[in-house]
Amino acid sequence: MLQDAVLYVHRTHIFIDTCSLLSEYSEAFWNRWIPTLRKSGQKVIIIPSVLNELMRHRDNRKDRKLARKADNVLRLLQLLEKENLVVLAGVEESNYTDADFEKIMACASRKQPMMLITQDRELAAKIHHLKNHHAMAARLAEGGILLKAKPERKEPLLTRIWQGVCSLFGKEKDDRASETCRLCGKSWPAYRMKAHICPECLKKGTIHHCKRCGKDMLYTHYLKYVEKAEPFAYCDDCYRFRKKVFQYRTCQDCGCTFPVTQGEAEFYQEKGYDLPKRCRDCRHRRR
């Protein structure tokens, strides 16, 4: 188990990914480490691509359980941000969140050590393969404790030699140690596969176009087969733009001030409707 001293190192940058925030140990992690964060003045960094993934999960209409969980995580992050325990920072996001973390962790140095909390073994292995002693990967465990993420296990030397001989003479490898990717048909170590798909194919996918600006978007096989998410309707730029406030209005029933986003304004304009005169809660009560 990682000692509490890790979080007391003032200059250590702590990052956390989407799968950790949505994991079953997430609540226990925050309950365990929030007092430590307050005492040490440390902050957990959320990069933009992770925040965008959470917002997309929140808008998932097919998986209501995932949407509620993502919404609760976003609300918690807002509260923690007000307490100055969480900060939004990082690099310009890409279509593949793991690539953002690789760029960030590669910049770790003696003056700026970094730690990434992730449940993804493949991502943890990538951080390990950077061979940067100042970049560390950790994972959440029961009770919210942090364990050092172990790198991918390599097969014994004799096994690898035997597999090389088998491949040289056209024989099949041991089925217990390898698995065939259902998309490309190549053989990969079973522990590197997700949903019977190899890491290379998970990064590939099909091109979709943004509903608003027509920009090309990559719908990866990881999103399709592992997370079982629908193709995104809007690119990252348009998605953030549609979430911006277009106008603040006063509710006719309760008198509170409520925001109308750019996306809602575009929707009402396309349908030929006027902007709403009541807040969301009052509209639900009238239904």
pLDDT at 250 over 90: yes
Q: How high is the pLDDT of residue 110?
A: 76
Are β-strands 114-117 and 257-261 bridged in parallel, bridged antiparallel, or unpaired?
unpaired
Residues 6+ apart with CB under 8 A from 147: 1, 2, 138, 139, 140, 141
Rounded to the nearest 10°, the torsion over CA 267, 270, 275, 279 is -20
pLDDT at 233 over 50: yes
Q: At what angle do helices 48-58 and 97-105 cross, to 10 degrees?
A: 160
Choice between 88 and 157, residue whose per-residue pLDDT is larger: 88
Report, as an integer, the average pLDDT of 29-44. Answer: 86
Q: How high is the pLDDT of residue 4?
A: 43
Answer whether 246's CB lies under 8 Å from 264's CB.
yes
Per-residue pLDDT band at 122 (split at 50, 70, 90): confident
Global pTM? 0.56
Per-residue pLDDT band at 8 (split at 50, 70, 90): very low
Report, as an integer, the average pLDDT of 225-240. Answer: 85
Q: How high is the pLDDT of residue 167?
A: 62
Q: How far apart are CA 241 and CA 212, in angstroms?
A: 11
Per-residue pLDDT band at 96 (split at 50, 70, 90): low
pLDDT at 237 over 50: yes
Q: How far apart are CA 253 and CA 152, in angstroms?
A: 59
Answer whether 178's CB lies under 8 Å from 188's CB.
yes
Secondary structure in 3-state letters for the chain: CCCCHHHHCCCCEEEECHHHHCCCCHHHHHHHHHHHHHHHCCCEEECHHHHHHHHHHHCCCCCHHHHHHHHHHHHHHHHHHHCCCEEECCCCCCCCHHHHHHHHHCCCCCCCCEEEECCCHHHHHHHHHCCCCCEEEEEECHHHCEEECCCCCCCCHHHHHHHHHHHHCCCCCCCCCEEECCCCCCEEEHHHCECCECHHHHHCEEEEECCCCCCEEEEEHHHHHHCCCCCCCCCHHHHHHHHCEEEEEECCCCCCEEEEEHHHHHHHHHHCCCCCCCCHHHHHHHC
Mean pLDDT of the chain: 82
Per-residue pLDDT band at 156 (split at 50, 70, 90): low
Positive or negative, the CA dihedral 159, 185, 224, 49 is positive
Question: What Rg do the C-alpha atoms of the chain give, in angstroms?
Answer: 23
Tokens at 153, concatenated: 């296990």
Report, as an integer, the average pLDDT of 191-212. Answer: 89
Q: Per-residue pLDDT tens for 59-72?
A: 887 888 888 899 99
Query: N- to C-terminal Cα distance for the chain?
Result: 52
pLDDT at 39 over 90: no
Answer whether 47's CB lies under 8 Å from 15's CB.
yes
pLDDT at 203 over 70: yes
Q: How far apart are CA 109 and CA 5, in angstroms?
A: 18
Q: How high is the pLDDT of residue 246?
A: 92
Q: How high is the pLDDT of residue 6?
A: 45
Tokens at 162, concatenated: 């035997």
Q: How far apart are CA 99 and CA 109, in angstroms?
A: 19
